[in-house]
Structure 1
């Protein structure tokens, strides 16, 4: 198996996802007594060990579509096939799907263009586009920031079109891009902050209100760098619900407060509530930061459809010359 950043990102995401599936929805107090330390089986969704959720399914659908070309309609149709024909399911059955994502896929099936299918209200800011956006990084990485933003906006909007969800995806991928370009996790963060702030202040893409919602991520300080307060927050100040801001803040907090892939994803899952998604979002970044070899082999070995994931990584790598 020839591994690279694509392997690191996709396996990192799906491993983090699978760690969280058995304990999804459990409150943080539960994990103080029974912390997740390893892959588990059954639990909340009664699934075998190594089972990933819709987070990974839709991530793999996006990656598979990008193996051909960038086509927003094809991506939308892949999502429809996942829900209806159960492609890219871990065991041949969809067992978890978000309300907004389900509604958007239903709209696409009725003939609505994918770019218009996502919810646009303030209530449509679950983490359903953030959890699946990572493969887009490898397509947009060499474009200018304006084009990167426009493409991210379109792909998020398939299921989540509100600017808050779009900005969360944008910030996440801008950080990932800096990691991909060889920056360590701290310098990648400071660079992301600077570039995103400049972009938002010079392009009228959103209101000041929406920009302010990201203040924990885009302001203040970390260590010796001119960064922010997020790193220094206590665990009790970090949310872990399905709200996109909670998911983004929690994932960055776990990445910046950990020193290994394993520590990052276990910290993410043990925050509780939306455990699979926080694990997936943080796991994708941790994979990029620490590399495929840092992911525990016994976790990879029990991962559902790991051979299919490897084959997808090979196709994706060939397309984007990794």
Structure 2
């Protein structure tokens, strides 16, 4: 039986691994590249195997903020994101790279106005930059599913305040909490799943995310799935990869080989699949290559300790 510690570590390490495997074909159109079969680095940023991009950097900033503040503090999260942008804090290379335009715009507004919820509310800004980093919030608030889901939505608002981005974070958080609790894949992917019964009735998901929660991806072929930067397509693609494969590796490669925003599709997949499969079921060869693996696992353990204490 997979331990809770293994699931916590799996969620955060799985995020980083998806990011590192996916960067190889980031920005490439589907069908235009030789399918990825391993963690090989390269890609648009010329990374070494195991180095990761903005997805993991922002997730680690978020994790460290929750640990340092012993809870959710949007202002501290922004300050850590700023350190990443300006100084390369929590970067696998020592510098900030691959920062999205929506995130950059939000950080610029935060610098100017000092309002921590600085994300754009424009539906056209509903990118996947907040679901890509999400895992630390459901990990920290694991013992209180309703709070985990609410604060996951709030964690989006620092950079992405479009309703679809917020609700994508809420729904993904529900799935991660359920996976940490050992729910079966069948249960997790059942229509309108939530570890907090009745939540979607009292606090509904927007129509685009509700459609995904009802299994939109189940009826689509690989050619109908898009691993784009749009949050709705990104979440759907990650869940398609999770639903249609058996192992962490198989699903990760399925997500990556959709191309386009491959690192983020796989990072979103990796959070959920890592929590579901546990650390020991993520390929050891991939784990050994990941930059700062021990530090990532330490953060996962710190988040787990907070969760067990019910903070």
TM-score for both structures, normalised by structure 1: 0.88
Instruction: Tell whether the 8 Å contact from 1:52 to 1:304 is kept in structure 2 after alignment.
Output: yes
Q: Which residue of 2 aligns with 1:286?
A: 273
User: Deviation per CA, 1:166-189, whole angstroms, max 9, x where unpaired?
Assistant: 010011111111112221111122
Shift of 1:95: 1.7
Correspondences of 1:17-28 after superposition (within 5 Å): 17-28=19-30
1:266 aligns with 2:253: yes
| Aligned pairs (5 A) from 1:196-215 | 198-203=198-203, 211-215=206-210
Which residue of 2 is the match for residue 169 of structure 1? 169
Cα contact 2:191–2:213 (8 A) shared by 1 = no
Q: Quick check: 2:126–2:231 contact (8 Å CA) kept in 1?
A: yes
Closer, same or farther in 2 for the Cα pair 1:315/1:152, shift >3 Å? closer
* 1:158 aligned onto 2:170: no
1:218 equivalent to 2:213? Answer yes
- Looking at structure 2, the residues matched to 25 and 76 of structure 1 have their Cα atoms a distance apart, in angstroms, of 27
Q: Which runs of 4+ in 1 moved over 3 A?
A: 147-150, 191-203
CA-to-partner distance for each residue in 1:286-320, whole Å, 9 max, x for gaps?
11111101111111111112232233233333333
Q: Which residue of structure 2 aligns with residue 141 of structure 1?
A: 142
2:143–2:307 contact (8 Å) kept in structure 1 = no
Instruction: Give the match for residue 130 of structure 1.
Output: 131
> Are 2:256 and 1:256 equivalent residues in the alignment?
no
Which range moved further: 133-142 or 82-91? Answer: 133-142
Q: Is the 8 A contact 2:145 2:196 kept in 1?
A: no
For residue 126 of structure 2, give the secondary structure of its aligned residue in structure 1. Answer: coil
Q: What SS does the aligned partner of 1:4 have?
A: helix
Provide the residue aligned with 2:8 in structure 1. Answer: 6
- 1:44 lines up with 2:44 in the alignment: yes
Shift of 1:75: 1.1
- Normalising by structure 2, we get a TM-score of 0.91
- Give ranges in structure 1 of 5+ residues lacking alignment: 220-227
Mapped partners of 1:17, 1:44: distance in 2 = 13
1:296 aligns with 2:291: no
**CA distance in structure 1 between the aligned counterparts of 2:141 and 2:296, rounded to whole angstroms:** 21
- Checking the alignment, whether the CA contact within 8 Å between 1:23 and 1:275 is kept in structure 2 is yes
Distance 1:121 1:282 in 2: 25
SS of residue matched to 2:31: helix
Question: What is the aligned partner in structure 1 of residue 218 from structure 2?
Answer: 231
1:229 and 1:245, CA in 2 relative to 1: closer, same or farther beyond 3 A? closer
SS at match of 1:159: coil
Q: Which residue of 2 aligns with 1:188?
A: 188
> Unaligned stretches of 5+ in structure 2?
none
CA change 1:149–1:295 in 2 (3 A) is: closer
1:109 alignment counterpart: 111
> What RMSD in Å do the two structures reach over aligned CA positions?
2.1
Q: Any conservation in 2 of the 1:174–1:192 contact (CA below 8 Å)?
A: no
1:80–1:108 contact (8 Å) kept in structure 2: no
* Deviation by residue 1:85-116 (Cα, 9 ceiling, x = unmatched): 2110001011210101011112222242212x
1:93 to 2:95 alignment? yes
Structure 2 distance, partners of 1:136, 1:245, is 20
Question: Structure 1 residue 305 and structure 2 residue 292: aligned?
Answer: yes
- In 2, the alpha carbon distance for the partners of 1:164 and 1:305 equals 32
CA contact (8 A) 1:197 1:218 kept: no
